[in-house]
Amino acid sequence: MSLTFYYVPMSTSSITEAILAELGTTCERVKLDISAGDTRKLDFLKVNPNGRVPVIVHEGIPIWESSAITMYLGEVFGVDAMLYPAPGPKRGEAMKWIAWGNVTLAEAAGRLSASLPSNTEGAVESNSLDWVPPDQRSEIAVEKAKADLAVCLKILDGGLEGKSFLLDDYSLADTHLQGIVGWIGSMEVDLTAFPNVMEWLQRCGERPAIAKLMAG
């Protein structure tokens, strides 16, 4: 089995890192540096023409987009490991949260992140593809992103009502979403208004694989 993981520390690829850690899947690791321009080099663009991490290459096939990677790794390695549902409605529920995490929750988080000064926690690097020049940023955009995040976090809080984890039992949907919510919490977003999210995030952080990653 050949599996290669392209990553940048402290980026979207941290989600895939957590997924691989939960699954205990071994792979070859290729570390890239955005500041050094690694994500725009021809060799990497052949792997992901978007010039972004994470990417996995499994048996010679590149798979990019963190949500697709989580669902793929779940399907291939996670079902036997009891970390991803078998095909059926529960699988659909996992996919719903993973896709929503990227398309809706992380979209609002990305707008906030791009508006923060580059040297603050959670902000994009000044030479990243997502960097917005300061003269194109506005307080209105920051407030709108925060308001949209609050709506999303309320939805997540409701989804966790009366449950320990999104699908009751811990799954890779939690691994994926906790990575996004952890990033949001590192920015100027107060999570205390969402008690179910706060408690869930703590429970996720107690998972041995995630605790080990957070300890560095």
Which residues lie near ligand GSH (CB under 6 A)? 8, 11-12, 34, 39, 51-54, 65-66, 102, 128-130
Q: Which is nearer to ligand GSH, 128 or 196 (CB)?
A: 128
- Least distance to ligand GSH from the beta carbon of 114, Å? 10
Q: Which is nearer to ligand GSH, 10 or 82 (CB)?
A: 10
Q: Which is nearer to ligand GSH, 45 or 193 (CB)?
A: 45
- Least distance to ligand GSH from the beta carbon of 180, Å? 9
Q: Which is nearer to ligand GSH, 72 or 203 (CB)?
A: 72
- Least distance to ligand GSH from the beta carbon of 102, Å? 5
Question: Three-class SS string for 152-190?
Answer: HHHHHHHHCCCCCCCECECCHHHHHHHHHHHHHHHCCCC
- Least distance to ligand GSH from the beta carbon of 32, Å? 8
- Least distance to ligand GSH from the beta carbon of 18, Å? 13
Q: Which is nearer to ligand GSH, 179 or 196 (CB)?
A: 179
DSSP-assigned letters across all residues of 20-87: HHHHT---EEEE--TTTTGGGSHHHHHH-TT--S-EEEETTEEEESHHHHHHHHIIIIITTTTSSPPT
The residues near 43 (Cβ < 8 Å, ≥ 6 apart) are none
SS3 128: coil
The owner of tokens 């987009």 is 65
